[in-house]
Amino acid sequence: MQFSKFGEKFNQYSGITQLMDDLNDGLRTPGAIMLGGGNPAAIPTMLDYFHQASDEMLANGELIAALANYDGPQGKDAFVKALAQLFRETYGWDISEKNISLTNGSQSGFFYLFNLLAGKQADGSHKKVLLPLAPEYIGYGDAGIDEDIFISYQPDIELLDNGLFKYHVDFEQLTVDDSIAAICASRPTNPTGNVLTDGEIHKLDKLARQHNIPLIIDNAYGLPFPNIIFADVQPFWNDNTILCMSLSKLGLPGVRCGIVIANEAITTAMTNMNGIISLAPSSVGPAYANHMIEKGDLLKLSTEVIKPFYQQKAQRAVELLQQAITDERFRIHKPEGAIFLWLWFDELPITSMALYARLKARGVLIVPGEYFFIGQEEGWDHAHQCLRMNYVQDDEMMQKGITIIAEEVAKAYAG
């Protein structure tokens, strides 16, 4: 069969597809220790809440209405309005329903946005999305219809006490010129748990405005929901910012709901793309989230249940790792948010891809760091020395997985 250029590109077995496959296989393999994928934790309080919300929505007709009707291409009106009001009241942002569009998961929102802005332009030039700091979210990597739509920069590495470290944007290196279509960063960052400081965000905003390009902030884990953010920072939005959110890490990845908060021109573009690509985004997630807003539960549960759950899990995982791996070349990125720890094995004699394969053979699924250095030239040792570990499993699984990681890392250093 002959595929088109588009077909060839999107028929690749990309890093993100491998990750989703591993996740799917692992979920069905007895005994597998899943420290790989990005599935949120099954938090009992949240599961009970969704159970109860489903009962209520079934009884009052909201669930069947969501299942049985298309929403408009911008996404469920009632939810978009309720969200705009929530942001106005919570943060004083000057937004209305004209600033919000929904997509089938924020992953597809990024596909729309990157291709709306980057790649081949009408005048024949080629533009890229600038990622101020790699490692960055694996899911961006293959999202361009055109090739080569990302450029990224190595971070400054700050070594911290207690075996931790933190990445910072190296502003001296960043070059924004006519070839840049947008700046994009996840905050908190998947895979590292880094949170760009308020200072870094303001500098990026200034840079974006100076060059008349948008700043895309991927807020899949951030404020005000799901609030898996432990650093003391402020949320950020203005009419040059495209803030992307998701219901997934609230515990609802199956409803596939992404939220894009942007100026009216971007909102209209997203709405038009929705119409062509999917008619309308799914109605079910917005119905649940709207129910949560009406009840006053969305922010409350994020702050009182989700955030403390992940924060405690992250601290425990750091503790377990530091007990199990005492080699001084091992460091953990300061856990500031998201649902992963980023492990750095300096001077590791094998690549993290090889370490991933050894761990997979022993039933531990983890993600090799190489995938996250999107938009980078090959040749930075650090890119082969890191692993992303999801820390949401129960304590017994975490201990088992970490013991095996410690053994394989010791073998690799010794060998």
Ligand X SMILES: Cc1ncc(COP(=O)(O)O)c(C=O)c1O
DSSP line for 328-391: TTEEEE---BSSEEEEEETT-SS-HHHHHHHHHHTTEE-EEGGGG-TT--S--GGGGSEEEEE-
In the chain the first and final C-alpha atoms are separated, in Å, by 46
Q: How many residues bind ligand X (CB under 6 A)?
A: 14
* Binding of ligand X by 246 (CB under 6 A): yes
Chain centre to alpha carbon of residue 389 = 14
Burial group, residue 328, by CB count within 10 angstroms (0-12, 13-18, 19+): exposed
CB of 264 to ligand X, least distance (A): 23
Nearer to ligand X by Cβ, of 290 and 324: the residue is 290
CB of 309 to ligand X, least distance (A): 17
The sign of the torsion formed by the CA atoms of 299, 231, 388, 108 equals positive
* Binding of ligand X by 227 (CB under 6 A): no
CB of 375 to ligand X, least distance (A): 15
* Binding of ligand X by 220 (CB under 6 A): yes
CB of 255 to ligand X, least distance (A): 9
Residue 296 and residue 86 in contact, taking contact as beta carbons nearer than 8 Å: no
* Binding of ligand X by 139 (CB under 6 A): yes
Residues 98-117 that bind ligand X (CB under 6 A): 105-107
Residues 147-206 that bind ligand X (CB under 6 A): 186, 190
* Binding of ligand X by 390 (CB under 6 A): no
Of 226, 261, 206, which is closest to residue 337 (Cα–Cα)? 226
- How many residues in total does the chain contain? 415
CB of 228 to ligand X, least distance (A): 10
Output the six-digit token pair for 70. Answer: 């298309």
Nearer to ligand X by Cβ, of 334 and 388: the residue is 388
Residue 282 and residue 256 in contact, taking contact as beta carbons nearer than 8 Å: yes
Site string for ligand X, 33-52 (x = CB under 6 A): -----x--------------
User: In a 3-state reduction of DSSP, which class is residue 157?
Assistant: strand
* Binding of ligand X by 16 (CB under 6 A): no
Nearer to ligand X by Cβ, of 255 and 293: the residue is 255
Stretch that binds ligand X, among 115-123, 231-239, 246-254, 379-387 (CB under 6 A): 246-254
**Binding site residues, ligand X, CB under 6 A:** 38, 105-107, 137, 139, 186, 190, 218, 220, 246, 248, 253, 258
